[in-house]
Structure 1
Amino acid sequence: MSAVMITRKVRKWERLPGKNTFCCDGRVMMARQKGVFYLTMFLIMGTCSLFFAFECPYLAVHLSPAIPVFAVLLFLFVMAMLLRTSFSDPGVLPRALPEEAAFIEMEIEAANGNVPAGQRPPPRIRNVQINNQIVKLKYCYTCKIFRPPRASHCSICDNCVDRFDHHCPWVGNCVGKRNYRYFYLFTLSLSLLTIYIFAFDIVHVVMRSVDKGFLNTLQETPGTVLEVLVCFFTLWSVVGLTGFHTYLISLNQTTNEDIKGSWSGKNRVQNPYSHKNIIKNCCEVLCGPAYPSVLDRRGLMPEDSSSALTSFAPSSTSIPAPQTTKTTAPLIPNEHTPDDAKPNIAASAEKTSSHKAKSPPPKEEQPPLPTVPPLASPETDAETSISKDKMY
C-alpha cells in the first residue's frame, strides 16, 4: 500500500483580494456592480438595432448604401472599445505580503519614533522628486503599500489603481493606467455614433414627411421616434464627457487630480507630468506604450492544503507490517478462561523480565509479581526418574 501526495494548484486570481469578479479563467476582470454596464450595452445595442431595422433599408435605397455600412463599422468599434475597457485590468497594484507589510511598519515606527499618548501620529508620507518637483506618496492602510505617483485606492473595487482616473459604473470597471485610452476612444466613438444615428433619424423623418406628411410618418415609424428621444438625451452627456476628457488629455491630468485640485489649488503647484505642449500630452496618453499587468492573474500558485491519494496496488518489495492481536484473556489463567485462550506463562514471564531490563527503574516501588514454577517437560521427567533408579 503506497500513498501518493498530490498538490493542487490554483490560479492567482482566485486568491486576489479586493472586490473584483473574474471570468474565463481570469482573462476577464470587472467590478462586482455590473448592473449599469448591462444597461449601457442594452441602450447601445437596442438603439442600433432599431436604426438598422427601420432607417437603414430606406436610406440605403433613397440616399446611399454606404450609410448602413459605416454605421455597422462604427457600432463594432464602439462595442470593441467598451468590452476592452470593461474586461481589462485597469492597473491594479498588488498588495504587500505579510513580510513586506511588517518591514514597512517597522521602518515607519523607526522613522516616527514614540508618539506621546493623546497626540496624533504623523502622516505616513514619502517624498519623491519628479521633474524637479516634490511629489508626495501616500501610504495605503488597506494594501499596506506606499502608492506610486498618481495612484489612488478605489473604494468600490477595494484596490489601489495606478494612474487612477475614476470608477465608471457605465463600463463596470475602474479607469486607470492600462485602459484609459480605450475608455476615451469608447466615449469618442460613442459620441460619433450617437450623432450619426440622430442626424440620419432626422433625415429619414424629413424625407418621409415630404410624401406622407409629418404625423403620418411618425405613426408609421414609431422606432424612429424612440431613437430620436434616446439619442437626444444621451447626446449631451456623452459629448460633454468626451469634451471633458479631451481637456484633461491636453493637460495630461486625471479626473481624480482635477477634482481634488492637485495642480490648480491655492499653492499653484504646476503639473510635473505635463510637457507644456498639447500634442505631446495627447501623444503620451493615447499613443504611449501599453503597460503589462502586474497582477499575473492566470499564474499558478501552490495550494496550502494538499490532498493524499492512496493506491492499493500490491508491491513486491514492500514488507508487510507486523500484525498485533489484542486478546481479552487475563494474564493469569483461571477457571473461567478456556484452554485455547490460555497464554504461555513462561513466555509472558520472559517478556516481562526483558522489559524490566530495558526500561529504567520506576520511581515508585511496585510489589513483586508472583512467581509461577515452570512447567516440567517430558524429557526432564524422564531424566529425573532415571537418576532416582540409580540412587536406589
Structure 2
Amino acid sequence: MSAVMISRKVRKWEKLPGKNTFCCDGRVMMARQKGVFYLTLFLIIGTCALFFGFECPYLAVHLSAAIPVFAAVLFLFVMAMLLRTSFSDPGVLPRALPEEATFIEMEIEAANGNVPSGQRPPPRIRNIEINNQIVKLKYCYTCKIFRPPRASHCSICDNCVDRFDHHCPWVGNCVGKRNYRYFYLFTLSLSLLTIYIFTFDIVHVVMRSVEDGFLSALKETPGTYPFFFFVLVCFFTLWSVVGLTGFHTYLISLNQTTNEDIKGSWSGKNRVQNPYSHKNIFKNCCEVLCGPAYPRYGPRRCVLPQIFHVQKTTAPLIPNEHTPDDAKASIGVSAEQSCSPEDLPPSFIPPLASPETDAEASVAKDNSH
C-alpha cells in the first residue's frame, strides 16, 4: 500500500496576467505582437550587410580602413540597445491579490457612501502632493490598484507600466521606467548609424563617378547597385528616426513622457505645472539617463512549490507501527523548491504540524534532558 504523488514545477512568470511572453527561463519579456520587431531586425541587419559587403571594401582601400571599423562598432551598439530595450521588463506593476482588491473596493465604497440609483458614482481618484503640486492617482479596473504617478495601463500588453512612455511595436515591447534610457540610446545610435551609412554611400558613388563617370560606374561596378536601395531606406530612416530622437531629446530636457505630452498633462493650463521637472535641462537629462537602475516589480525567476495530486489508496496516510516498511518509504512529501521564503506568494500557507507531532517533539526534548 502506497500513496502516489505527481508533482509539476510552476514558474512564477507563468502565473502573471497580461499579454506578455517570456523566454530564456524568464529573463526575456516581450509583447505577444513581435512581427514589426522582426522587421526592424531585418532592416537594420540587411542594410548594414549591404554596406559592409559592397561599400566598405572600396572605402577601406581608397579612403580609410577606420570607416568599416567605426561602422561595426556603431552597428553592435545599436543591436545591443535594441535587444536590451526589447527583452527587458519595462516596469510592469503587479496586480492586486483578491484580498487586496476586496479591501480596496470596501475602502472606495466607504469613502463614496451610498450612491442613489440612477446616478453615476464618483470617479475613483486619490490625490497626493508632489513638490507642492496635486497629482491624481487613477484607479485601474483591470489591475485593481491605484496606479502610481506617471503610470498607465497598456491596452496591448494588458498591464500597468510605471512611468509609461508608449508602446513601441518597432521594439516589440512597452517603453517605461526600466528601459526608457536604452530606448533613447537605441534611437540616438541608430540615427548616427543611418547618417554614417548614408554619407559614405554618397562618398562611394562620387569617388567612382570621378574616375569613370556616373553612368559607367553604375554599369561596370556591381557594388553601386545597392546605392538606390540605400538611398530609399536611409532617406525615410533619416526623417523618421532622427525626428524621433529629436522629439525624445525634447521630452528628456523637460522630464516628460510621450503619454504626458500627448494628453497635455503639464501644458500649463489651470496653473498645472510639471512637478517632476527640476527646471534645469542638465538635471532633467541626468535623472532620466543617469539615474539608478530600478529593480523589477514582478516576481523573480524561481520555482514555486510543487503541486501534489494524491491518488486514493488503501494505505494509511500517516504511518504507524502496523504499516509495512516499504509503504513507509513511499509516504511523505519531498517538495523541490528553489525559492527563498520571501519569494513565495502571499496565498501560500505551509502545512501546520499536527498536535501528535508537537507532543512527540516535546517528549523527545524532555528525554534528551
TM-score scaled to structure 1, two decimals? 0.78
Counterpart residue identity of residue 10, structure 1 = V
- Matched residue count: 317
- Cα shift readout 1:20-56 (whole Å, capped 9, x = no counterpart): 1111121110001101000000000000000000000
- Equivalent position SS for 1:70: helix
The answer on 1:240 being equivalent to 2:243 is yes
Matches within 5 A, 1:83-98: 83-98=83-98
Structure 2 residue aligned with 1:75:
75
The answer on 1:144 being equivalent to 2:134 is no
Counterpart residue identity of residue 226, structure 1 = F
Structure 2 residue aligned with 1:289:
292
The answer on 1:223 being equivalent to 2:211 is no
Structure 2 residue aligned with 1:361:
none
Q: Measure the CA separation in 1 of the matches of 2:322 and 2:79.
A: 65
Counterpart residue identity of residue 304, structure 2 = M
- Equivalent position SS for 1:225: helix
State the shift of 1:280 in Å: 0.2
State the shift of 1:196 in Å: 0.1
Q: 1:216 to 1:246 in 2, by over 3 A?
A: same
- Cα shift readout 1:132-168 (whole Å, capped 9, x = no counterpart): 1110000000000000000000000000000000000
- Equivalent position SS for 1:276: coil
Counterpart residue identity of residue 20, structure 1 = N
Q: Measure the CA separation in 2 of the matches of 1:84 and 1:52.
A: 24
Task: Please point out which of 285, 305, 308 is paired with 1:306.
Answer: 308
Structure 1 residue aligned with 2:254:
251
Structure 2 residue aligned with 1:39:
39
Structure 1 residue aligned with 2:269:
266
State the shift of 1:299 in Å: 2.8
Structure 2 residue aligned with 1:342:
none
Q: 1:316 to 1:167 in 2, by over 3 A?
A: closer
Structure 2 residue aligned with 1:367:
none
The answer on 1:275 being equivalent to 2:278 is yes
Structure 2 residue aligned with 1:16:
16
Q: Measure the CA separation in 2 of the matches of 1:147 and 1:300.
A: 28
Counterpart residue identity of residue 240, structure 1 = G
Counterpart residue identity of residue 39, structure 1 = L
Q: Measure the CA separation in 2 of the matches of 1:309 and 1:66.
A: 70
Gaps of 5+ in 2: 314-318, 325-369
Using the TM superposition, name which of 262-271 and 78-87 deviates more. Answer: 262-271
- Equivalent position SS for 2:10: strand
Q: Measure the CA separation in 2 of the matches of 1:91 and 1:16.
A: 14
Structure 2 residue aligned with 1:163:
163
Q: Measure the CA separation in 2 of the matches of 1:7 and 1:265.
A: 59
- Provide the identity percentage: 85
Q: Measure the CA separation in 2 of the matches of 1:225 and 1:133.
A: 54
- Equivalent position SS for 2:178: coil
- Equivalent position SS for 1:48: helix
Q: Measure the CA separation in 2 of the matches of 1:232 and 1:215.
A: 22
Structure 2 residue aligned with 1:365:
none
Structure 2 residue aligned with 1:195:
195
Q: Measure the CA separation in 1 of the matches of 2:22 and 2:294.
A: 20
Q: Measure the CA separation in 1 of the matches of 2:312 and 2:226.
A: 67
- Equivalent position SS for 1:136: strand
- Cα shift readout 1:327-384 (whole Å, capped 9, x = no counterpart): xxxxxxxxxxxxxxxxxxxxxxxxxxxxxxxxxxxxxxxxxxxxxxxxxxxxxxxxxx
Cα RMSD for the two superposed structures: 2.0
Structure 1 residue aligned with 2:332:
none
Q: 1:214 to 1:318 in 2, by over 3 A?
A: farther
State the shift of 1:190 in Å: 0.1
The answer on 1:105 being equivalent to 2:105 is yes
- Equivalent position SS for 1:57: helix
Structure (1 or 2) with the larger CA radius of gyration: 1
- Cα shift readout 1:51-104 (whole Å, capped 9, x = no counterpart): 000000000000110000000000000000000000000000000000000000
Q: Tell me, yes or no, if the aligned pair for 1:8 and 1:307 is still in contact at 8 Å.
A: no
Counterpart residue identity of residue 245, structure 1 = H
Q: 1:205 to 1:310 in 2, by over 3 A?
A: farther
Q: Measure the CA separation in 2 of the matches of 1:91 and 1:295.
A: 8
Structure 2 residue aligned with 1:2:
2
Structure 2 residue aligned with 1:180:
180
Q: Tell me, yes or no, if the aligned pair for 1:54 and 1:224 is still in contact at 8 Å.
A: no
Q: Measure the CA separation in 2 of the matches of 1:206 and 1:197.
A: 14
State the shift of 1:302 in Å: 3.2
Q: Measure the CA separation in 1 of the matches of 2:274 and 2:16.
A: 34
Structure 2 residue aligned with 1:124:
124
Q: Measure the CA separation in 1 of the matches of 2:164 and 2:181.
A: 13
- Equivalent position SS for 2:127: strand
Using the TM superposition, name which of 294-303 and 231-240 deviates more. Answer: 294-303
Q: Measure the CA separation in 2 of the matches of 1:310 and 1:84.
A: 50
Counterpart residue identity of residue 306, structure 1 = F
Structure 1 residue aligned with 2:133:
133
Counterpart residue identity of residue 8, structure 1 = R
- Equivalent position SS for 2:276: coil
Q: Measure the CA separation in 2 of the matches of 1:185 and 1:171.
A: 13
State the shift of 1:3 in Å: 1.9
State the shift of 1:266 in Å: 2.7
Q: Measure the CA separation in 2 of the matches of 1:292 and 1:316.
A: 50
Counterpart residue identity of residue 260, structure 1 = K
Q: Tell me, yes or no, if the aligned pair for 1:12 and 1:300 is still in contact at 8 Å.
A: yes
- Equivalent position SS for 1:2: coil
Q: Measure the CA separation in 2 of the matches of 1:64 and 1:309.
A: 75
- Equivalent position SS for 2:3: strand
